[in-house]
Structure 1
Amino acid sequence: MEAKSDWQIGKSLSDRMKYMLDNQLMCDVTFHVGIDKTPIKAHKYMLASSSPVFYSMFEGPLAEKGTVEIADMKPEYFNMILLFLYTDKITVDSNNIRSLLYGSEKYMLQLLKDECDAFLASNVDIDHACVVLQIAHDFNMEDLKTKALHFIFENGSRILDSKDFLNLSAECLTLLLNSDKFRCEEEHIYQQMVQWGQHKCKDKSLPATDENVRECLGDLLYLIRFPVMKPKYFTEEISCKSVLTATEIVKVFQHFNDKTTDIFPSKKRISKIKIERCQLNKKSSWTCSGLDDCIDFKTSFNAKLSVVLLFGSTTYSGTDNVKINIARNSVILSTTQTVLTSSAGHEIYKIKLNPPVHVLANNQYTIQVNITGQSTFKGKEYIRNVTTEEGFSVNFLPSSLPSTNSTSISNGQIQGLFFDL
């Protein structure tokens, strides 16, 4: 292809290199790419300067002569990689990420792999965390895998319901099911693992019988913690099916009656428990003028207080300054200061404590909240003692510190709490 006479003038290095690549000027190597052997020309010098693999390919006694066959990549992705080597520019997306990562590993292109890593790291959310985890596992991206696992552990139940959970490999599922930090109910884990097994049956063109689901689950079955399930659920939903053998079912029932099983793990996972001390009262509001709203509480188990639930504003959209102290015997254990961006009518906000507070069973603690801002919703039907299905109970008590904004065990701010068990 004939070049324009002035294509070099006033252009950056990357623009000039791109022009030479696009117009195939002075190319000295031809690749035959993909199953159709699409010819793609390039410059040995540029490739060798970017990749030790390309350098070895073109230099030395075993250097490639003539055309180079690349059967394991599609032409469109190989062209994207070439363009990156010439210009340092690339757009990574969900459609090309695997092919670009494959190319970055094959040709030892660390800068390209870094671009892919940055794209994936920015997409660790409910909808994409499973995909990120699987890719990070497949391409040995350990820091990214750790980040994805942490997010998945923190958001266990929602991750189980995400569309890509069923596409996780057995190796990735092993990482999840082995962890005590996977925050979700064991019953939910079982339900989704059965769906995963049914999905595998479909892939293998097998009927989704209990026996085939068990076969597809394989060793993953023994990572499900049946002994920590609610006995009623196990009886009604599992014992009458054939996912477990008769012997395994008997072993779990024996565990429910204080005879420890050696077949399934019996340690309860960390779970996040929500405690609500009142219902929302939309017909009334609560003034927040910089005075303290305080309440005391005791728990029946050792736990970690991680979130305080506060009422949102009835009519105000804007920012409020929020300060939360957690104290014991009037000694402050944790202080969280934040700016709450509220929307009018948004009922309840989660304020994460930084740092969270480890609370000891049957010890009294104080929550002291100071909000400088507009009036908020308030509660109704306040409860002094809340007990969950897990047997975890919280007693709310009059504050040990002055509650100068009048919050009490029967009125005011602080709608609820989240605990990690």
Structure 2
Amino acid sequence: MLHVNQFRQNKQNKRQMKAAGKNAAASSKAFEAPDIRNDNSATELSLQRYSIFSLQNVESGHFDVTFLFNEKELYAHSFVLWTASEIFETMLFGVWAKNEPIPITSHSYDDFKEFLTFLYLGQCNINMENIMALVDLSESYNVQILKEKCDQFLTDAKPTVENVFNICESLKTYSLQNALTNLYEFVAINALTILSSQSFLETKKDIVIDIVKMERLIINEEDLFKSVYKWAEYQSQKQKKENPSRLIKSLIKEELSDILPHIRFPIMNIEFLHSDVGM
């Protein structure tokens, strides 16, 4: 009899668990987010919110956050900010939150407004003038989706000899790997021109090492060595001004120490090795 009662109890428990599962599923479905991908009304609401932000009318905008740029103020709505960024959430509602204007000293009014535009609309005007500011802001406020859009913009952009290394440095800083790979391909294809430019002389050593290590660099090893040596001379002259007691040859040797192991000396012309490299 005991076994029969246990069987009935187990069966009843299974029914209860099954019913609970159905209720949970129904409850979950009730709170499921609607699909708004093709919902024009959702877009219209976003545009309405952005329009209020864009007008910056203090009287009708009902703003509750103020950013201060010297004497200029930018107004926003906390709900838009904290739902898009945990950093903003902490700034606005954390233990150290203050109900006063937030000073912004590292970015311009226009760049910061464009950044906030993205939080309101999910899109903004990205161009070569503001791209690095937007990358920095997306990193600082942990807005990953904007950072990804900036990465894609730079991947699709056409760099120039003048700006390629400045962009490289920023991409390495913010780990925008897709754009960096694309930029290095541009350098590899145009190596002879780019490595003869003033911008190359001014670039950082880690980027020079990245370039020298490239397998598909379209430049012969002799010209590569000459460009790298000129870079080392230029960098050494700058250091010499800061520390006049140092010898130029010693400074050049230090600059080249991390780079030379990646130069392919065995494929160089023998005469060049003797006359220019001293081997």
Is TM more than 0.5 here? yes
The corresponding residue for 2:155 is 121
Q: How far did 1:156 drift?
A: 3.4
Structure 1, unmatched stretches of 5+, are: 1-10, 240-251, 253-421
Q: How far did 1:139 drift?
A: 0.8
Contact 1:30-1:66 at 8 Å conserved across structures: yes
Contact 1:124-1:132 at 8 Å conserved across structures: no
Alignment of 1:219 onto 2:250: no
Alignment of 1:230 onto 2:269: yes
Alignment map for 1:56-205 (pairs within 5 Å): 56-124=90-158, 127=161, 129-162=164-197, 164-201=199-236, 203-204=238-239
Kindly provide the amino acid, as one letter, of the partner of residue 64 in structure 2.
Answer: D
Contact 1:56-1:63 at 8 Å conserved across structures: yes
Q: Distance in 2 between matches of 1:205 and 1:28?
A: 53
The corresponding residue for 1:297 is none
Summarize deviations over 1:183-211 as a string: whole Å, max 9, x none.
32111111211232233245446389444
- Secondary structure, in 3 states, of the residue corresponding to 1:184? coil
Q: Distance in 2 between matches of 1:37 and 1:202?
A: 42
Contact 2:237-2:248 at 8 Å conserved across structures: no
Relative to the length of structure 2, the TM-score reads 0.68
Summarize deviations over 1:313-333 as a string: whole Å, max 9, x none.
xxxxxxxxxxxxxxxxxxxxx
Q: 1:167 to 1:109 in 2, by over 3 A?
A: farther
The corresponding residue for 2:86 is 52
Q: 1:126 to 1:102 in 2, by over 3 A?
A: closer
Kindly provide the amino acid, as one letter, of the partner of residue 236 in structure 1.
Answer: S
Q: Distance in 2 between matches of 1:26 and 1:83?
A: 17
Contact 1:27-1:41 at 8 Å conserved across structures: yes
Kindly provide the amino acid, as one letter, of the partner of residue 136 in structure 1.
Answer: L
Richer in helix (by share): 2
Q: How far did 1:158 drift?
A: 3.8
Q: Distance in 2 between matches of 1:91 and 1:210?
A: 49
Kindly provide the amino acid, as one letter, of the partner of residue 229 in structure 2.
Answer: V
Q: How far did 1:82 drift?
A: 1.6
Alignment map for 1:284-303 (pairs within 5 Å): none
Contact 1:52-1:108 at 8 Å conserved across structures: yes
Contact 2:240-2:248 at 8 Å conserved across structures: no
Alignment map for 1:12-27 (pairs within 5 Å): 12-21=44-53, 22-24=56-58, 25-27=61-63
- Secondary structure, in 3 states, of the residue corresponding to 1:40? strand
Q: Distance in 1 between matches of 2:100 and 2:159?
A: 47
- Secondary structure, in 3 states, of the residue corresponding to 2:67? strand
Q: Distance in 2 between matches of 1:136 and 1:30?
A: 31
- Structure 1 vs Structure 2: percent identity of aligned residues? 24
- Secondary structure, in 3 states, of the residue corresponding to 2:259? helix
Q: How far did 1:14 drift?
A: 4.2
Q: How many residues align?
A: 228
- Secondary structure, in 3 states, of the residue corresponding to 1:213? helix
Tell me which of the two structures has the higher relative contact order, counting C-alpha pairs closer than 8 angstroms and 6 or more residues apart. 1
Summarize deviations over 1:82-122 as a string: whole Å, max 9, x none.
22222334222222222111000011112321231122112
Q: 1:73 to 1:211 in 2, by over 3 A?
A: same
Contact 1:126-1:162 at 8 Å conserved across structures: no
Contact 1:52-1:107 at 8 Å conserved across structures: yes
Q: Distance in 2 between matches of 1:163 and 1:80?
A: 32
The corresponding residue for 1:343 is none
Q: 1:116 to 1:190 in 2, by over 3 A?
A: same
Q: Cα RMSD between the aligned structures? A: 3.0
Richer in strand (by share): 1
Q: 1:202 to 1:29 in 2, by over 3 A?
A: farther
Q: Distance in 2 between matches of 1:27 and 1:55?
A: 16
Q: Distance in 1 between matches of 2:230 and 2:71?
A: 41
Kindly provide the amino acid, as one letter, of the partner of residue 83 in structure 1.
Answer: T
Kindly provide the amino acid, as one letter, of the partner of residue 19 in structure 1.
Answer: S
Relative to the length of structure 1, the TM-score reads 0.47
Summarize deviations over 1:220-244 as a string: whole Å, max 9, x none.
24433344321222333343xxxxx
Q: How far did 1:142 drift?
A: 1.9
Q: 1:100 to 1:126 in 2, by over 3 A?
A: closer
Q: 1:199 to 1:123 in 2, by over 3 A?
A: farther
Summarize deviations over 1:151-190 as a string: whole Å, max 9, x none.
4334433442355333432112222223333332111111
Contact 1:44-1:58 at 8 Å conserved across structures: yes
Q: How far did 1:54 drift?
A: 1.0
